[in-house]
């Protein structure tokens, strides 16, 4: 149980139906917050947390994600010949090392639990991180890093949680909080997309997990849950009778970039965070005279 977490899984097979028509031919994971695709934020966060192997569960029309994590010699040569050293270095910095990515396919959209199960042979018998790339965090250190620090102590399974408005609980998985401080407390139960009046808390699972490999055997049973999908939350609830689950209410905030509002807000917040963009962006926002719009 005390193995180091070296591998991260990124489920990127989702159809992106909440973001049509943008996602008709383009993967939703390639939508950009400022100038970086959503998937790049998740990979950067994983790398910061010490992840060495990046496993993508893809689907049809997702080939461009694979290209994004490959070298682009023509582009690199052009940048070099034009002396655009900073852009070139940025591209090279973003790349995982050779041989440290794997791609497998979820052939049918049967749910998050099924997507994770599709990575079982690549992950093997070791703990792994799971990052849902729709969910982009403004956090320092990154949320997965904060969870890794908690994992050093707790071992077992670790789930990142954040409070949401009670009217939003039915959009997420929600946990039952047990004993312990916010930084690292016991989770005694969880439920996927509960009705507001049946939700055990407003602490929602915000898309970052550290899981033990025993989850795969439970996912293999492929029981359908909420929305008639194979739910990861249901398999975790079952695993809870055998293994410890720890909740980490991390420092930071998530933006649900699978929703238009979350995505737009993330773009504003991340643009304001960028020293190279902030001054000009503030000027433009002033010109919009938002006060009179609000």
Contact residues for ligand G1P, defined by CB under 6 A: 112, 132, 134-135, 172-173, 192, 204-207, 231-233
Residue closer to ligand G1P, measured from CB, 204 or 263: 204
CA distances from 221 to 72, 91, 218 (A): 41, 41, 6
User: DSSP 3-state assignment of 97?
Assistant: coil
Nearest-approach distance from CB 142 to ligand G1P, in angstroms: 17
User: CA neighbours within 13 Å on the CB side: how many for 46?
Assistant: 33
Residue closer to ligand G1P, measured from CB, 41 or 204: 204
Residue closer to ligand G1P, measured from CB, 205 or 219: 205
Nearest-approach distance from CB 243 to ligand G1P, in angstroms: 18
Nearest-approach distance from CB 102 to ligand G1P, in angstroms: 22
Residue closer to ligand G1P, measured from CB, 55 or 257: 257
Nearest-approach distance from CB 212 to ligand G1P, in angstroms: 18
- Let me know: does 196 contact 284? Beta carbons within 8 Å: no
Residue closer to ligand G1P, measured from CB, 79 or 239: 239
Residue number, nearest CB to ligand G1P: 173
Residue closer to ligand G1P, measured from CB, 13 or 79: 13
Strands 7-11 and 53-58: parallel
Nearest-approach distance from CB 79 to ligand G1P, in angstroms: 35
User: DSSP 3-state assignment of 63?
Assistant: helix
Helices (H) and strands (E) in the chain, counts: 12, 13
- Let me know: does 245 contact 178? Beta carbons within 8 Å: no
Q: Which two tokens stand for residue 30?
A: 């390639």
What are residue 216's phi and psi, to 5 degrees? -65, -40
Crossing angle of helices 85-94 and 73-81, rounded to 10°: 150
Longest dimension (CA), the chain: 62
Nearest-approach distance from CB 46 to ligand G1P, in angstroms: 16
CA distances from 119 to 83, 115, 141, 223 (A): 41, 7, 27, 18
């Amino acid at each position: 149980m005390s193995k180091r977490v070296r591998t991260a899984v990124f489920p990127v097979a989702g159809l992106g139906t909440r973001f049509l028509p943008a996602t008709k031919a383009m993967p939703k994971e390639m939508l950009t917050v400022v100038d970086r695709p959503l998937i790049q934020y998740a990979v950067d966060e994983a790398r910061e947390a010490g992840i060495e192997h990046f496993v993508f569960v893809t689907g049809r029309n997702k080939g461009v994600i694979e290209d994004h994590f490959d070298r682009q010699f023509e582009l690199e040569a052009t940048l070099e010949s034009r002396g655009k050293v900073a852009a070139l270095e940025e591209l090279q910095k973003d790349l995982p090392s050779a041989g440290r990515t794997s791609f497998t396919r979820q052939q049918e959209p049967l749910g998050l639990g099924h997507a994770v199960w599709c990575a079982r042979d690549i992950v093997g018998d070791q703990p792994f991180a799971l990052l849902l790339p729709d969910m982009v965090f403004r956090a320092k250190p990154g949320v997965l890093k904060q969870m890794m620090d908690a994992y050093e102590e707790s071992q077992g399974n670790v789930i990142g949680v954040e409070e949401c408005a009670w009217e939003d609980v039915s959009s997420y998985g929600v946990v039952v909080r047990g004993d312990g401080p916010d930084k690292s407390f016991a989770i005694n139960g969880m439920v996927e997309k509960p009705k507001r009046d049946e939700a055990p808390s407003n602490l929602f699972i915000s898309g970052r997990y550290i899981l033990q490999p025993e989850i795969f055997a439970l996912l293999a049973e492929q029981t359908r849950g909420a929305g008639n999908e194979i739910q990861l939350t249901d398999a975790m609830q079952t695993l809870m009778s055998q293994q410890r689950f720890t909740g980490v209410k991390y420092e930071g905030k998530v933006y649900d970039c699978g929703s238009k509002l979350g995505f737009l807000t993330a773009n504003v917040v991340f643009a304001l965070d960028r020293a190279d963009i902030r001054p000009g962006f503030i000027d433009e926002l002033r010109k919009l005279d938002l006060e009179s719009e609000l």
